[in-house]
A = this chain, B = another copy of it.
Amino acid sequence: MREFKRLTPYREALRLMLGDLVEIGEVEEIPLGGALSRVLAEDIVSPIDSPLFDRAAVDGYALRAEDTFQAREYRPVEIKVIDEIVAGEGSKVKVKHGTAVKLTTGAKIPEGANAVLMQEMAERDGTIIRVLRPVAPGQNVAFAGEDVKKGEVVLKRGQVLRPQDLALLRSLGFKTVKVKRKPLIGIIVTGDELIEEFDEETLKAGKIFDSNSVMLEGLVKRYFGEPRFYGVIPDDEEIIGEAIARAKKECDLVLVTGGSAFGDRDFAHRFVNLLFHGTTIKPGRPVGYGERVFIMSGYPAAVFTQFHLYVKHALAKLTGVIDYETRVWAKLIERVPSQLGRYEFIKIRYENGEVRPIHKKGSGIISSLVESNGYLEIPEDSEGYLEGEEVWVTLY
């Protein structure tokens, strides 16, 4: 069995992979209701001022502030209410000296008025209100364009659409939005040791369940892709070659698990001109990429690491998504040593504002992934971190 001639440093390998992938051009215009968590395909420029008109920020009376300047509790100013409107209505009257229009929050400020007196601040008596204190010009008025100005860029290309982003789009009159087509990610799982059905005897003889497919499908969905599963495939050179050829034709990126080393049964790399093969990451060193095919480990914890360190960023490149990670700066409650020359992926638990490394080791160990809610990266030139050091961790 050959060993890797050279372990490509993680950052270099990542750069090679991202440099080879091309952002997807296709855009889908879809209704806002279906756009949650999709990646915005263009900058959104507001077509209108928002609010479109000056409006009341409270329930009360629209009036001319000047009329109230002399108002004192012991000498109220009397003003005549000449109309009543609610949000969604305009008033046809003009507010002149000594008059006011009653309105509700959100209603358009009538012509002539420049302030709103809060309802609780007025004493009402038929069509007359008594004003006890002066109102400043502009008081309780939400001015046109105060929220968003016409022509302003309100959302950026590459943003992941959240509920409030959809609300903003709707408030500006949009009913649809252009999002990136989801990249189609082929998943090929290889390995004679993998079975699909529960059979304790077979299991005891040394077989295991394929857990990589369900994990990768979930990860691909979470990071803006559309998974397509090509099945669990035996360690057969011809069958693997065919599956890779087909998946490459149909997908934007192909993930192959298993067979990423140089063993007698490691076939996948024979079908691809690799840009790198073997990197400094731990766990998950045997990994290769070329021609839109990413060859991963067969071991779930290594696959998970390789997904976060490579595939997640590849999906970001394909979709153009920005801000797709939650990174937190927090204190390590334990020392985390690391081997020089390795780019380590340390599973952690972020809790109560502190970071605790998860100690279970071994690339088959799925329970450590389950216990963790994030990871810490340690570059090749670092020997790790001390207890009490503050570090960046990425949550998942």
Q: Tell yes or no: A107 within 8 A of B by CB.
A: yes
Q: Of residues 173 to 223 in A, which have CB atoms within 8 Å of B's CB atoms?
A: 173, 175, 191-194, 198, 200, 203-219, 221-222
Q: Tell yes or no: A120 within 8 A of B by CB.
A: yes
Q: Tell yes or no: A352 within 8 A of B by CB.
A: yes
Residue of B nearest to A366 (CB): B168
Q: Would you list 20 pairs from A and B whose C-beta atoms are within 8 A, ordered by A residue? A: A36-B217, A57-B364, A86-B265, A87-B298, A88-B207, A89-B193, A104-B263, A107-B193, A146-B362, A147-B365, A162-B218, A163-B214, A163-B217, A164-B300, A164-B366, A170-B211, A170-B214, A171-B211, A326-B326, A328-B353
Residue of B nearest to A307 (CB): B163
A155 / chain B contacts, CB cutoff of 8 Å = 370
A153 to chain B, nearest CB (A): 11
Task: Please tell me which stretch of A47-55, A65-73, A241-249, A333-341 contacts chain B, meaning at least 4 of its Cβ atoms lie within 8 angstroms of it.
Answer: A47-55
Q: Tell yes or no: A142 within 8 A of B by CB.
A: yes
Q: How many copies does the complex hold?
A: 2
CA distance A215 to B170 in the complex (A): 9
A203 / chain B contacts, CB cutoff of 8 Å = 48, 52, 173
CA distance A113 to B370 in the complex (A): 31
Given A304-B164, A366-B164, answer yes or no on A170-B210 (Cβ-Cβ < 8 Å). Answer: yes
Q: Is the CB of A173 within 8 A of B198?
A: yes
CA distance A209 to B265 in the complex (A): 61
Q: Is the CB of B298 within 8 A of A212?
A: no
Q: Is the CB of B167 within 8 A of A366?
A: yes
CA distance A87 to B297 in the complex (A): 13
Q: Is the CB of B206 within 8 A of A53?
A: yes
Q: Which of A1, A209, A326: most chain B Cβ within 10 A?
A: A209
Q: Is the CB of A36 within 8 A of B263?
A: no
A148-B366, A162-B218, A163-B214 provided; 14 other pairs, C-beta below 8 A?
A86-B193, A88-B191, A88-B208, A107-B193, A108-B205, A163-B304, A164-B304, A165-B370, A167-B214, A167-B215, A167-B304, A173-B198, A329-B330, A353-B392
A171 / chain B contacts, CB cutoff of 8 Å = 208-209, 211, 300, 366
Q: Tell yes or no: A166 within 8 A of B by CB.
A: yes
Q: Of residues 333 to 388 in A, which have CB atoms within 8 Å of B's CB atoms?
A: 352-353, 360, 362, 364-367, 369-370
CA distance A300 to B149 in the complex (A): 18
Q: Contact flags (1/0) for A110-122 with B, using CB distance below 8 Å?
A: 0000000001100
Q: Is the CB of B105 within 8 A of A299?
A: yes
A198 / chain B contacts, CB cutoff of 8 Å = 173, 175
A344 to chain B, nearest CB (A): 18
Q: Contact flags (1/0) for A297-325 with B, using CB distance below 8 Å?
A: 01110001000000000000000000000
CA distance A235 to B87 in the complex (A): 11
Which of B106, B205, B217 touches A364 (beta carbons < 8 Å)? B106
CA distance A216 to B166 in the complex (A): 10
Across the A-B interface, the 8 shortest Cβ-Cβ residue pairs? A88-B193, A329-B353, A163-B218, A167-B215, A164-B369, A108-B206, A170-B211, A87-B193
